[in-house]
Amino acid sequence: MLLSALVLTAACSNSDPGIPTEDFEGTGKGVFVLCEGNFNAGNSTLSYYNPVSKEVRNGVFQRANGGAKLGDTGQSIQLHGGLAYVAVENSGIIWALDTASFKVRGQLTTGQTEHMINPRYIHFLSDEKAYVTDLYSPYITVFNPRTMAYRGSISTRQEASFGYNSTEQMVQWGKRVFTNCWSYSNKILVIDTERDEVCDSIVLSSWQPKSMAVDARGKLWVITDGGYEMDAESFGDNIPHLYRIDAETLTVEMDQALDTDEGNVVVAMNPAGTVLYLINNDVYRMDITASHVPVRPFIEAPRNANGRRHYLYAIGVNPHNGDLYVADAVDYRQSGVVYRYDEDGTLLDQFRVGITPNCFAFK
């Protein structure tokens, strides 16, 4: 019996020695959905959705690249010049992928740079220059997206807040790039893109600015998660705020406290830059000229029988037709669900993706 067991298992390995590489043709105006997975599990994945055929393909990075994994905690995805750039935070890597075949065309790792630690978001200034923010590093990394070569870094010139120096999302107005400092901070930094240096900052009344968008009039919309209300050493009050800031004068024009959030807080802009969408438990829609967030949500988060809301985690607006994509992380340990609505809030489709969908990119 022992012998037969040995024979049976002698050649058994449970690793996955390279699944066959699939050839994809991700044609059309498809949508990438980045799923961050679970921290320290290395199960971040990338999905690709075709809005015309309503076909979704999950795990396309792994399937197109011989079983290689995307990494641990995929944070953001941006498209530029026919490539998709994915920042995988806890793996310390930025991938450049072909947007049709999903094959890897280049990469930038922590070790290739001087200061990068955990890359979060990427912002393209040209075909040869892009910024990368970081959860831990007090520097913004600059690289060439065409060659994936490291070009340098920009000091944030900020004193560490509670020991941390984080930079998060980036938006551009004119020659200025704005980046929010999320971890233990209440600042927006202003970067002069010609001199590649931080030239100014905006201090907010609420802690932890989480998400940003810029509208057609040059107004910066910032939502905070409010930090934490815990003890004397902690900071914040757990109350999110929405700000409208003039990108030229850096003046805060609007500051509205929102409901304490059970899910994520995110903002996104419609293609024309005239309508702001935000997640604050439910999905709200407001004209950029409005003075406050509407009382009634645009789309109510679905509720289960006992009234619990679905935890909405991410939002994206298709720049080609204004369709709204909203991600539901469910329990963060199973495949999440993406809802697709039209501009009027009519549900067009819903589909399963990977674990914890957190970012959309539109071809």
Partner 1 sequence: MRRFILLFLLLCGGAQLSFVHCQLSMDMDEVQVTAPRRLRDTGLQQTVLDTAILHQNVALSMSDILTQHSTLFIKSYGRATESTAEFRGTSPSHTQVMWNGMKINSPMLGTVDFSTIPSYFVDQANLLHGASSLTLTGGGLGGAVDLHTQPLFNQGYALQYIQGIGSFKTYDQFLRFTYGNERWSTSTRVAYSTSDNDFKYTNYDKIGHPKERNRSGYFDDVHVMQDVYYNAPRNNRVGTMLWYSHSLRGLPFLSVDYKDNTDFRNEHGQDALRAVLSWDKTFDRWNMGVRTGYAWHNIAYDYYTTRETVNTDITHSRTRSQQVYVQAEADWMPRANWLLTADATVYYNHVRSSDKSPFHIGDNYNLGRPEYNLSLSAKYRPVRNLSLSAIVREECYRRDFVPVIPALFVEYMIHRPWNLVVKASVARNYRYPSMDDLYYKPGGNPDLKPEKGITYDGGVEFSIQHKRYMLKGNLSAFDSHISDWILWTPNAKGYWQPSNLKKVHNYGVEMMASAEVKMKHQWRLSLTGNYAFTPSINKSDQLEDNDASYGKQLVYVPRHSTNLSGCLMWRTWSLRYQWTHYSERFTTTSNEVSYITGRLKPYFMNDIALEKTFRWRRVHASLKGVVNNLFNSEYVTVLSRPMAGRNFEIFLELKPQWK
For residues 163-202, which are near partner 1 according to CB under 8 A? 163-166, 183-184
Among 10, 52, 203, 295, binds partner 1 (CB under 8 A): 10
Among 32, 178, 207, 313, binds partner 1 (CB under 8 A): 313
- Angstrom CA distances, 204 to 186, 223, 240, stand at 5, 10, 12
Distance CA 342, CA 317 (A): 10
Q: How far is residue 228's CA from residue 191's CA, in Å, rounded to a whole number?
A: 28
Q: Does residue 137 touch partner 1 according to CB under 8 A?
A: yes
Rounded to whole angstroms, the Cα distance separating 301 from 309 reads 6
- Return the residue of 142, 335, 343, 349 that touches partner 1, per CB under 8 A: 335
DSSP 118-169: SEEEEEEEETTEEEEEESS-SEEEEEETTTTEEEEEEE-----BTTB-----
Spatial CA neighbour of 28 closest among 48, 50, 46: 50
Q: What's the half-sphere exposure (Cβ side, CA atoms, 13 Å) at 50?
A: 11
20 binds partner 1 (CB under 8 A): no
H or E segment to which residue 203 belongs = strand 197-203
| Binds partner 1 by CB under 8 A, chosen from 68, 100, 250, 257 | 68
Distance separating alpha carbons of residues 184 and 57, to the nearest angstrom: 37
Does 307 participate in binding partner 1 (rule CB under 8 A)? Answer: no
Q: Which is nearer to partner 1, 111 or 174 (CB)?
A: 111
Give the binding range for partner 1 (CB under 8 A) out of 173-181, 243-251, 298-306, 340-348: 298-306
> Binding to partner 1 by residue 93, rule CB under 8 A?
yes
Binding test (CB under 8 A) with partner 1, winner from 26, 30, 51, 71: 71
Least distance in angstroms from the C-beta of 24 to partner 1:
15
Q: Is 90 in the site for partner 1 (CB under 8 A)?
A: yes
What are the φ/ψ torsions at residue 45 (nearest 5 degrees)? -140, 170
Region from 42-50, 79-87, 247-255, 284-292 binding partner 1, contact rule CB under 8 A = 42-50
Q: Provide, rounded to whole angstroms, the least separation between the CB of residue 313 and partner 1.
A: 6
**Residue among 88 and 191 whose Cβ is closer to partner 1:** 88
State which residue, 214 or 326, has the beta carbon closest to partner 1.
Answer: 326
Closer to partner 1 at the Cβ: 24 or 173? 24
Interatomic CA distance for residues 211 and 31, integer angstroms: 20
CA angle at 95 for the pair 194 and 167, rounded to the nearest 5°: 50
Pairing of strands 170-173, 104-109: unpaired
Q: How far apart are CA 122 and CA 118, in angstroms?
A: 12
In the complex, the smallest distance separating the C-beta of residue 352 from partner 1, rounded to whole angstroms, is 8
Options 76-84, 106-114, 173-181, 252-260: segment touching partner 1 (CB under 8 A): 106-114
Nearer to partner 1, 16 or 249 (CB): 16
Q: How far is the CB of 26 from partner 1 (least distance, A)?
A: 17
Phi (first) and psi of residue 64, to 5 degrees: -90, -10
Site for partner 1 in 219-258 (CB under 8 A): 225, 228, 230-231, 233-234
